[in-house]
Structure 1
Amino acid sequence: MTTLTVPTVSRPAASPAQRNLLRDIRIVMTRELKPVLRDPFSLLFGMIQPLVFLGLFGPLLRGSMGAAFGDGVWQWFVPSILVMTTLFGTSTTGANLLSEFQTGAHERMMVTPLSRSSLLIGRALKEMVPLFGQALIVIAVMTPFGFDLHVGGAVVGLALLAVFGIGLGAFSYALAIAVRKQDWLFWVVQQTFLFPLMILSGMLLPLETGPGWMQVASKFNPLAYLVDAERALFAGDVSSTAVLWGWLAALVTAAAGLTVGIRTMVRSAG
């Protein structure tokens, strides 16, 4: 008696569904926001620095350069404070990652099916959420003192800050990975780059009265274009050439930051 053998046809495993980048970003962002929501006092503490600059440095600026600005000193200075808040917030994104290296949380995130870019974008956008809240408070506080709010320009300005913040946050993330065995280097590098970028952006004082070499150096500082764009947007000049240069600087920073950040992450995982 012969036995009929039916060959078994193996079906190829179904390819995993393409991951949704927006979904992954939302997951990472929600995870990062939970500690902030549990401790809302950290948001109030973050307001101290911008309010100190507005309350102490602003009057000095108005008194020393009031002739140059006229009644528009706050229109010039408030956007600078918003850029400064974004700069300090997103440039420290990597600091949270350093603590996750010690607890092993980062390694657990790396073995999840989340896309690598979402880990960078989600963390940077998490920093932007409290910064947006702080920006609204700053605008509300300064409006009675003569700050003229143009809602359309302000919305575009906050979106521009978010794009720039993604790139800067990705650079901060990459720096944290690079110095994870000597985490004190993170603050050395961050502070070394942070303050020259601020000064050479004309954020606190106009560079037009500075030496020629500073004016030339500012042309290579993407933050300078961002500051000029924010001032134009918050003045209601959405179609200004400065806005176009600001978007270009923000997009280049975001693209470069994500490229460096993802490559650094992949190499560290390997």
Structure 2
Amino acid sequence: MTTLIASTVKIDAPAIGRRSLLRDIGIVMTRELKPVLRDPFSLLFGMIQPLFFLALFGPLLAGSMGGSLGGGVWQWFVPSILVMTTLFGTSTTGANLLFEFQTGAHERMLVTPLSRSSLLIGRALKEMVPLFGQAVIVIAVMIPFGLELHVDGVLVGLALLAVFGIGLGAFSYALAIAVRKQDWMFWMVQQTFLFPLMILSGMLLPLETGPGWMQVASKFNPLSYLVDAERTLFAGDVWSSAVLWGWLAALVTAALGLTVGIRTMLRSAD
């Protein structure tokens, strides 16, 4: 008489779910990166604006208030340009999703077995790859002009920009989904928020000499904490309280952006 003994295999469902989500994020990120890799000129084209700001606005700062900027004008202004590049790059990513709505590409992605969350997270992560490339080029170009390179501060600064950029990109995708039937509203809302955030962050000009109401308003602007943190990091101070406040602002932005973005993406699939 033969006795069959069935062995029981315990499957860790949460672990499988995590691996599946990471795999889906990688698939979406790879898909989104392919057009960028096939057209590297787009990376160089994105450098025009930050290089123009450095070439035209930087000398004005050096001539008007260079002596009052701690650490030199480039240690003060180059981090601002990197934050501005991240701000412009990630806040406009929703336009790509609007194009996919028009062509039907997004609907085709929804019928795949990919998780809905990965469709947003993978897209948001993809946006940081060209931004990292642009940041490296900006830093390399400015070193001969007097920018002091603190490698540890630069690496932490790039990681900080990545966290903030993912959150802002998620907000941009959520906005695109919300206005997909009136896509002109995407640019109206994006522009309405973009420039006040820039000005009230002290990104281009110091706010210390500005009116009191602007200084108060900047305290409620998460971008101002990010700008202060990046300047501190590029000065070589990794453990400053300004850096901690910058991380807090970036993490809160990322958490809120991903929460809003994922919920909006899930609702759009219903």
Asked whether the two chains share a fold, i.e. TM above 0.5, the reply is yes
Instruction: Indicate whether 1:217 and 2:232 are aligned.
Output: no
Q: What is the Cα deviation at residue 70 of structure 1?
A: 6.3
Tell me, which stretches of 5 or more residues in structure 1 are unaligned? Answer: 1-13
Does the 8 Å CA contact 2:71/2:235 hold for their aligned counterparts? no
Other-structure match for 1:155: 155
Q: What is the Cα deviation at residue 221 of structure 1?
A: 0.4
Q: What is the Cα deviation at residue 22 of structure 1?
A: 2.3
Q: Give the partner amino acid of 1:81.
A: I
Alpha-carbon separation, structure 2, partners of 1:23 and 1:120:
14
Tell me which stretches of 4 or more aligned residues in structure 1 moved more than 3 Å.
Answer: 14-17
* CA offsets 1:171-218 (integer angstroms, 9 cap, x no match): 000000011011111011001100000000000001001000000000
**Pairs within 5 Å for 1:90-169:** 90-169=90-169
Alpha-carbon separation, structure 2, partners of 1:201 and 1:125:
24
Other-structure match for 1:229: 229
Other-structure match for 1:198: 198
Q: Give the partner amino acid of 2:106.
A: H
Does the 8 Å CA contact 2:201/2:218 hold for their aligned counterparts? yes
Measured at CA, do residues 71 and 217 of structure 1 come closer, stay the same or move farther in structure 2, by a change above 3 Å? closer
Q: What is the Cα deviation at residue 19 of structure 1?
A: 5.0
**Pairs within 5 Å for 1:242-257:** 242-257=242-257
Alpha-carbon separation, structure 2, partners of 1:197 and 1:205:
13
Measured at CA, do residues 70 and 213 of structure 1 come closer, stay the same or move farther in structure 2, by a change above 3 Å? closer
TM-score (norm 1): 0.92
Other-structure match for 1:43: 43
**Pairs within 5 Å for 1:176-187:** 176-187=176-187
TM-score (norm 2): 0.92
Q: What is the Cα deviation at residue 104 of structure 1?
A: 1.2
3-state SS in 2 of match to 1:67: helix
Alpha-carbon separation, structure 2, partners of 1:157 and 1:117:
27
Other-structure match for 1:85: 85
Alpha-carbon separation, structure 1, partners of 2:115 and 2:49:
34
Alpha-carbon separation, structure 1, partners of 2:249 and 2:184:
29
Alpha-carbon separation, structure 2, partners of 1:117 and 1:227:
29
Tell me, which stretches of 5 or more residues in structure 2 are unaligned? Answer: 1-10
Q: What is the Cα deviation at residue 261 of structure 1?
A: 0.7
3-state SS in 1 of match to 2:208: helix
Does the 8 Å CA contact 1:19/1:115 hold for their aligned counterparts? no
Instruction: Indicate whether 1:53 and 2:46 are aligned.
Output: no
Q: Give the partner amino acid of 2:258.
A: L
Other-structure match for 1:7: none
Q: What is the Cα deviation at residue 114 of structure 1?
A: 2.2
* CA offsets 1:204-252 (integer angstroms, 9 cap, x no match): 0010010000000000000000000111111110000000000000000
Q: What is the Cα deviation at residue 269 of structure 1?
A: 1.7
Instruction: Indicate whether 1:31 and 2:31 are aligned.
Output: yes
In our comparison, the structure showing a higher alpha carbon Rg is 1
Which moves more between the two structures, 149-158 or 23-32? Answer: 23-32
* CA offsets 1:45-82 (integer angstroms, 9 cap, x no match): 10000000000000001111112126611000000000
